[in-house]
Chains A and B, each alone.
Chain A
């Protein structure tokens, strides 16, 4: 691309291809300076990030009262799925009963998705990788192993894809109920094709509800926003006891830890 100073906009020209190339370059830059899943840390860097922002600093105080540590997740549009996946796999290290319950659900999920019309041969790779990495928890039982899985780009992304497919399958199966949450007159199939299945599409409430319902995993999200008052928390599904905690800052999810 030309340098900004020499740039003259030409209305006749289509800049979309160049825009896409530039977006890819920005993504590469982000990838170069941030782990997919970062180390557990205290809130010092969070304070620094928002040091000139009074509204957020107050919310960070609330966060500190409720949690001890957090883990940053790369901001690539997949952060909700990656944070959810990692935090849950990590929680399974200490919970063999829950591991068995989930292993059974994950095993059966493939046939359910095929019944819903997902093509078997495009689904298989993602399911295989997902099961292989899940099963490592039982044999390996180390946080280093889970970190390695989620920081290996290919493996990590395949897990994200499979979680996305679980959400897509759940929403299509329960279309009658969830259809009313969609705006813009899209069908559930269109919504899933455009907002759930593709990598990099950000998650909304509907993705979170669907993933927690489909997997029976309870997640609490603490919302940091500019609003007055205290930090607001939502538990999905309502009235259950969370096994993982996520921090939401506008457009992004990280993982929170009570200890």
Chain B
């Protein structure tokens, strides 16, 4: 089973290297272990995260792609859909039935034909458009809803921090 996962992850890595989506770099930490990836996500243009470069780790299960990976930002990111410890909480990282925060019925879910690329593109959309309905960080969701100016300030702080300024 793990053999099938490695084969698939190698194919995905190749695909991401040949046709990298804008604002995303991702690949295995070292080529000995295809189950741990590092990713860099650029903050989307025209949003309060613009200019930031946010590092994250992806951890794949042995039965990938039957089950989805987990994703965790390794930098500070104040965002409604990111737990305070960095774990990303969006619908595509969960199979239906695994409903940590009761996603909307139309939300895109994990299935074996999804891919790392689809996840990372969803994460970029999530940065651009937080979903305060299913909040992993309640403070960030409240702030996004009630005090947008403060939210943007905290986002810009994350951007500066991500660039070591």
Chain B 107-119, CB-CB to A under 8 Å as 1, else 0, gives: 0111111110000
CB pair B113–A118 under 8 Å, yes or no, is: yes
CB pair A119–B113 under 8 Å, yes or no, is: yes
B95: chain A residues within 8 A (beta carbon): 198-201
Size category, B interface = 20 to 34
Residue ID in chain B nearest A161 by CB atoms: B112
CB pair A16–B63 under 8 Å, yes or no, is: no
In this complex, how many residues of chain A approach chain B with their Cβ under 8 Å: the count is 32
Take A14-B100, A16-B101, A200-B95 as given contacts and tell me if A154 and B108 are in contact as well, using a CB distance cutoff of 8 Å: no
CB pair B11–A197 under 8 Å, yes or no, is: no
| CA gap between A154 and B5 in the complex, in Å | 10
A14: chain B residues within 8 A (beta carbon): 100-101
Binding site for A on B (CB under 8 A): 1, 3-4, 7-8, 11-12, 15, 63, 65-67, 95-101, 105-106, 108-115
| 22 residue pairs from A and B, CB less than 8 Å apart | A14-B100, A14-B101, A20-B100, A119-B115, A121-B15, A121-B115, A122-B8, A122-B113, A123-B113, A154-B3, A154-B4, A186-B106, A190-B105, A194-B105, A197-B111, A197-B113, A198-B95, A198-B96, A198-B97, A199-B67, A199-B112, A201-B97
Top 4 nearest A-B pairs by Cβ distance?
Answer: A197-B111, A154-B1, A16-B100, A198-B111
Binding site for B on A (CB under 8 A): 14, 16-17, 20, 23, 118-119, 121-126, 129, 153-154, 157-158, 161, 165, 184, 186-187, 190, 193-195, 197-201
